[in-house]
Chains A and B, each alone.
Chain A
Amino acid sequence: MSLQKARVFENSLVDSGAKGISAEFMQIYRSREVGQSYVTSVWTTLVATAHALWLMIKIRPQVVLCNGPGTCIPLCVIAFIFKVVGIRWSSIFYVESIARVKRLSLSGLLLYKLQIADQFFVQWPQLQRKYPRARYVGCLM
């Protein structure tokens, strides 16, 4: 449903003349479905990571902008590893979900602690107090 809404929104921007061409949409694999066993998750995470690697090489993005959930982790990790080995294609920006008021999500925690994101945005002041390297930008909705 998000894909459909995103497409509708992009088309409305093109129709109104705000931009020239609509964005391209590609789907990526999830590392783990809700309730999936951890054993099979190892395999699906590997598949998701391989897919992320393929996407990375194909697109060579200058910007990776994500908001969790965990689907974004393989992409961010790949982009980060590339940076570490000197392939500085992508800047990584993470926006924590508006539903996270006092605690970070697991994706957010990983990206924050491992300092994978170049900039880490939070929408509630409580999180900025708890995680000082985060930037508080207020509610985005």
Chain B
Amino acid sequence: MGEARDGVKVKRVVFVTVGTCFDALVKVADCQEVKDELYRRGYTDLLIQMGRGSYLPAKSTGDDGSLAVDYFTFSSSIADHLRSASLVISHVGSGSIFETLQLGKPLIVVVNEDLMDNHQSELAEELAERKHLYCSRPLTLHQTIASMDLNSLVPYTPGDATPVAKLINRFLGFPEES
């Protein structure tokens, strides 16, 4: 919760990242239902990386006892935003997903139903089955936020590419390093 400490409220930021363009996610993240639910669950700020979508969220300072809302289109690296977030809501981009999981941040992934080839939902569903994140659609984001139990998420162990390097070295005939 945003407790007052020496009069300063602890910031709990929800970072929404949509990649290139995902208006449906920006719209639903900015809708009153979702914002109220996030505020109810103790978040104080909502920051939306909106890409080149056409829907502009309404900025808010949050001084009136509600969520502070801000947005930007793109940034060369979202790493800092991910690092300072208490909750990440992301489109299904492998980069965003694994950067977030490696930082150990709670993650809700939102599948874009408008995309033609939806193989991307395979990754979201698999990671959700393994309980590393929550998977949602724009229309069900509100319910996901309302019912999520972040303590039930299983931490993700980052992968390691060394086995691939070893297999390639072995194939090429390099001696095995001890």
Contacts and interface: CB of A to CB of B under 8 A. Distances in A.
Interface of A: 1, 4, 62-63, 65, 91, 93, 95, 97-103, 105, 118-119, 121, 123-124, 135, 137-141
Contact of A119 (B92, B98, B102, B171): B171
B164 A100 contact: no
Contacts of B123: 98-99, 101
B159 interface: yes
B168 interface: yes
Given A97-B94, A100-B119, A103-B122, 16 more contacts: A62-B172, A63-B168, A65-B168, A91-B171, A93-B168, A99-B119, A99-B122, A102-B122, A103-B119, A119-B168, A119-B171, A135-B167, A137-B161, A137-B167, A138-B160, A141-B158
B120 interface: yes
A121 B122 contact: no
B163 interface: yes
Q: Is the interface of B mostly helix, strand, loop or mixed?
A: helix
B96 to A, nearest CB: 11
Contacts of B152: none
Count chain B CB atoms within 10 A of each CB in A102, A118, A124, A139 and give the residue with the most: A139
A111 to B, nearest CB: 16
Interface size classification for chain B: 20 to 34
B98 A95 contact: no
Given A91-B171, A103-B122, A1 B76 contact: yes
Given A1-B76, A118-B171, A119-B168, A98 B98 contact: yes
Contacts of A91: 171-172
Interface string B59-98: 0000000000000000010000000000000001010001
28 contacts: A1-B76, A4-B76, A62-B172, A63-B168, A63-B172, A95-B164, A97-B94, A98-B94, A98-B123, A99-B119, A99-B120, A99-B123, A101-B125, A101-B126, A102-B122, A119-B167, A119-B171, A121-B164, A121-B167, A124-B126, A135-B167, A137-B161, A137-B163, A137-B164, A137-B167, A140-B160, A141-B102, A141-B158
